[in-house]
């Protein structure tokens, strides 16, 4: 099922006369299997659009849809459940819980989704294998390199087998070689499992590899480019 933003705007009322826009008239369709990047300078609205897609914030105007259903009409609790059911998240700073092992970090959202212990065990094992860390599940984040921590973060995102993965600057904290390896992993997951990815990124190597590039400035999509990848 595809995700859509239809005539979406998001503004913040700085004063009676002054509206600060994070998104303006954004129309966006994310079909299943898409591999897309949101690109623009800091403050351009990339993260706002990513948060709107996730339903973490609601638009001031317009609507968010998934499979034709309007997400904007859902309650906070329903939007939270929707994210758990359909989305995975990857962050620049990994956001792993330091007191949990790699396995336990992956298990946590699966527990929130209500999977049985056997299902969780199978999904964690599968996810660690996909990211090449099947022998490192018992390690804590401090025992892993930055690239390995990001792989755990990716495993956590894919373990629930979501329809959409949102990744905010996922290569920004990685050295050049590790960043390239992570990009290749994203490409493999997209190809092998038809996982839908939307990235917010400044990384030209990632931009060159995605299928669709949306350039954002002042909250507006100013240009769309499609690559034959």
pLDDT of residue 85: 92
Distance in angstroms (rounded) separating the CA atoms of residues 101 and 137: 7
Given a cut of 80, whether residue 198 has pLDDT beyond it is: yes
Q: Which helix (H) or strand (E) holds 129?
A: helix 117-130
pLDDT of residue 63: 93
- Report residue 226 as tokens: 């499609």
Q: Give mean pLDDT, residues 36-45.
A: 92
Three-class DSSP category at 196: strand
Beta bridge partners, 8, equal: 26
User: CA dist 138 to 105, 109, 141, Å?
Assistant: 10, 17, 10
197 with 22: CB under 8 angstroms? no
pLDDT of residue 13: 76
Given a cut of 70, whether residue 229 has pLDDT beyond it is: no
Q: Which residue has the higher pLDDT, 15 or 80?
A: 80
For a pLDDT cut of 70, what percent of the chain falls above it?
98
CATH number of 3-226: 3.40.50.300
Q: Give mean pLDDT, residues 38-54.
A: 92
Three-class DSSP category at 120: helix
pLDDT of residue 17: 73
pLDDT of residue 12: 83
Given a cut of 90, whether residue 43 has pLDDT beyond it is: no
Given a cut of 90, whether residue 52 has pLDDT beyond it is: yes
Query: pTM to 2 decimals?
Result: 0.93
pLDDT of residue 62: 95
Q: Give mean pLDDT, residues 110-133.
A: 96
Average pLDDT, the chain: 94
């Amino acid at each position: 099922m595809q995700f859509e933003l239809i005539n979406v705007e998001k503004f913040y009322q700085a004063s009676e006369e002054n509206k600060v826009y994070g998104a303006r008239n954004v129309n966006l369709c994310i079909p299943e299997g898409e591999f897309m990047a949101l690109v623009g300078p800091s403050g351009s609205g990339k993260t706002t659009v990513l948060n709107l897609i996730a339903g973490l914030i609601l638009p001031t105007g317009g609507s968010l849809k998934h499979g034709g259903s309007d997400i904007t009409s859902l309650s906070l609790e329903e939007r939270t459940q929707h994210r758990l059911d359909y989305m995975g998240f990857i962050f620049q700073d990994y956001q792993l819980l330091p007191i949990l092992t790699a396995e336990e970090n992956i298990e946590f959202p699966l527990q929130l989704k209500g999977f049985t212990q056997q299902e969780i065990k199978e999904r964690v094992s599968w996810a660690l294998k996909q990211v090449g860390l099947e022998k490192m599940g018992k390690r804590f984040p401090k025992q892993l390199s930055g690239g390995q921590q990001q792989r755990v973060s990716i495993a956590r995102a894919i373990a629930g087998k979501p329809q959409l993965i949102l990744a905010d600057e996922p290569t920004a904290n990685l050295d050049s070689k590790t960043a390239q390896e992570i990009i290749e992993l994203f490409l493999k997951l997209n190809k092998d499992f038809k996982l839908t990815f939307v990235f917010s990124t400044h990384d030209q190597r990632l931009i060159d590899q995605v299928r669709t590039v949306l350039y954002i400035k002042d909250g507006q999509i100013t240009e769309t480019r499609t690559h034959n990848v």
